[in-house]
Chain A
Amino acid sequence: MPGPDDFGMVWHLGWNHNMREKQKGSRAAGLPNDDIGPDIRLELYRLQVEIRDCEKRANDLFFQNLIKGTSHLSLGQEGIAAGVAVAMQPGDKSFCTYRGHAHTLARGVPMEKVLGELMLRDNGLMRGKGGSMHLTSVEHGVMGSYAIIGAHLPIACGSAWRAQYLGQKDVSVCFFGDGTTNIGAFHEALNFAAIWKLPVVFICENNLYMEYTPIADVTAVEHPAADRASAYGLERIVIDGNDADVVYRTAQAAFAKARKGDGPSLIECMTYRHSGHSRADPAKYRPEGELEKWLERDPIKIYRERLREFGISDAQVAAIDAESKRKVDAATEACKASPSAPVELLTTDVYADGGWSWRN
């Protein structure tokens, strides 16, 4: 099973590796060579912190019984959501899963809209009709969150096919977990995207577990996504998903390739979820010490160090932290104050005429 010790492995770095060499050279002269720049770095940091704070708040609200149903947090996986989203352009499309709060927030959807949906209030993204597993905000390019494992990979292909057919330049991005690589739709979608050279980027968040079963126990290859890539003529890409810079660079390259018309990419991001699969899960199945090791590689911790390394002041970081807390508190209060949706919503939007009528 890949674990923290494997971070010494040769990641797919390619030009990233060269970048590191370059950085070593310039480090001697003072600050490291910065290919990303302070503005984007601060944005990557802000997103990770805001996602972290919002997810933590979601967890608290559960225990106050203010969030009903289920919910799947991305605590520990924020680096991927942030890194990919910052590399995206307006108009690009995100296709997410039930573990999709992070990806939704990362596209700029206000926290209140996300927390409101989790709390099933009228102010939520879908006014409570979808719930936590189906966050959608078309105006932000979030084209839905899907809760049937694998279903949205072909759907993302279809969106990419539309872009290709109409000559539009947007890229469709599809997020999913390691467990998703063992369902048929994953394989159908990869082949389909490859043969039609679709502008779609598949992002596998390998957090080492399906719900409770370690992915390594049920998968014939070590890297469930990347080791299958060659079967579809795609490059094998495994990256450190807890380093937002690495995610950002890799995603950027994949998007550029897609936009040029050179077809799909599949990126496997190694990561770890700090909490259980869903709120019902205390995650007792994890071996002792595993979580602690991964906490050392917490993406936000890594990124704070990174900012310091690049000369960004602690005051700037503290300001982002404070603003994030303020936003979460304000969003929480707004949600608590929001009513439930009116009961008329029960039967709206079943059909395109806005209603539910199936007979005359």
Chain B
Amino acid sequence: MAELTYRDAVARGIAQEMERDNNVVFLGEDVAKAGGVFKSTVGLYEKFGPLRVRDTPISEQAILGAAMGAAMTGLRPIAEIMFADFAAVCFDYIANEFPKLRYMTNGQLGCPLVVRTGNGGGARFGAQHSQSIENWTMMIPGLKVVAPSSPIDVIGLMAAAVRDDNPVIFHEHKSLYAVKGEVPDGEILDTLGTARILRPGKDATILALALMVPRALAAAETLAAEHGIDCEVVDVRSLVPLDTDTILNSVARTGHLFTVEENPRLCGWGAEIASIVADEAFWDLDGPIVRITTPHIPLPAADHLEDLALPNAPRIVEKIGRVMNGSVR
């Protein structure tokens, strides 16, 4: 058992898979000799050498295109897109190429690769370096989409992503890189498509992802201590596949559903889950499904404004407290 940062967990997860399988290769901008702009891949170049850990030009299309060509002919590439916002300049691969290949070729070709990317806000980087884009990727059939919230999940889900035969978009949260967590020694392998109940509770279900997970947990403690509301906090972890079993079972127990989403309001992942729950668990509900999201705005750089925009524990407490007022079973 060791204490590891989320940042170091990225390098450990990649290293674990590169050690296991020679076909795992890693490419991206400044990822090799410099160890990544977020220092999340330090040591990989030294350990695995220049043939397996490669610095690329600033060519996001070439990075993802090359990863795809290598994946469909036998390698298992991990590609880094430095900031998730940059997915927009290579979105063709994410939207049109990776996820359509197997279907269009009637199963002749597959695309077993991982795209890692620095997702999310909180770092005062402004509107083009702070977005939460997991919903951009969630809406495309053929992709898998994960967003871990803790160091151990980073390693376990990274391993699962690399071993998966589908294209997996792996959203690392930039504001979690410094977060520490306990990580056991030895190989760690998790399962895609599994949510995790981090705090059991009986009054309401809170679904959260990535940076919103610690905030939801903090809010749940306050709600319990100050409002007598016992919340179950579920880390969704994987948007595709989506662990609807865990979510629907939790809602069946609590009767209330809240989502805490960092994405701007429209078409956030919580909207899809709200629709599933409304459709399949309507009679389990004792109150409205409420989404707590960033407002539908670009993110500002100024710290006090960005803090206002992103959901935080006080806002979660305030919203859930108000909705639950008088309706606790």
Contacts and interface: CB of A to CB of B under 8 A. Distances in A.
A125 B104 CA distance: 10
A143 B65 CA distance: 14
Contacts of A191: 57, 59, 62
Contact of A360 (B54, B102, B244): B244
A351 interface: yes
B245 A143 contact: no
Contact of A136 (B25, B70, B109, B243): B109
Interface residues of A, number: 52
B73 A159 contact: yes
Contacts of B107: 348-349, 354
Nearest to A131: B104
Interface in A9-38: none
Contacts of B54: 196
Given A134-B105, A154-B65, 16 more contacts: A126-B104, A129-B106, A136-B104, A144-B105, A153-B65, A154-B64, A154-B66, A157-B65, A158-B66, A159-B70, A161-B66, A185-B62, A349-B102, A351-B102, A351-B144, A352-B164
Contact of B61 (A154, A162, A166, A356): A154
Interface string A166-209: 10000010000000000011001101100110000000000000
Contacts, number: 162
A330 to B, nearest CB: 23
Contacts of A313: none
Nearest to A352: B165
Contacts of A125: 106
Interface in B66-102: 66-75, 77, 92-93, 96-97, 101-102
A358 B96 contact: no
Interface string A272-304: 000000000000000000000000000000000
B241 interface: yes
A151 B65 contact: yes
A158 B73 CA distance: 9
Nearest to B240: A358
A126 B69 contact: no
B97 A151 contact: yes
Return the 8 tightest CB-CB contacts between A and B, nearest first. A158-B69, A154-B65, A352-B165, A158-B66, A188-B59, A188-B62, A126-B106, A159-B69
B93 A172 contact: no
A189 B62 contact: yes
A125 to B, nearest CB: 8
Given A151-B92, A350-B142, A93 B73 contact: yes
Given A143-B109, A148-B97, A192 B62 contact: yes
B225 interface: no
Contact of B141 (A137, A146, A148, A350): A350
A356 B145 CA distance: 15
Contacts of A185: 61-62, 65, 92
Nearest to A353: B165
A357 interface: yes
Interface string A92-127: 010100000000000000000000000000000111
B191 to A, nearest CB: 11
B102 A162 contact: no
Interface string B183-218: 000000000010000000000000000000000000
A352 B102 CA distance: 8
A138 interface: yes
Contacts of B96: 148, 151
B73 A351 contact: no
Nearest to B242: A359
Contacts of A4: none
Residue of A93, A125, A144 with most partner-chain B CB within 10 A: A144
Contacts of A137: 108
Interface string B8-25: 000000000000000001
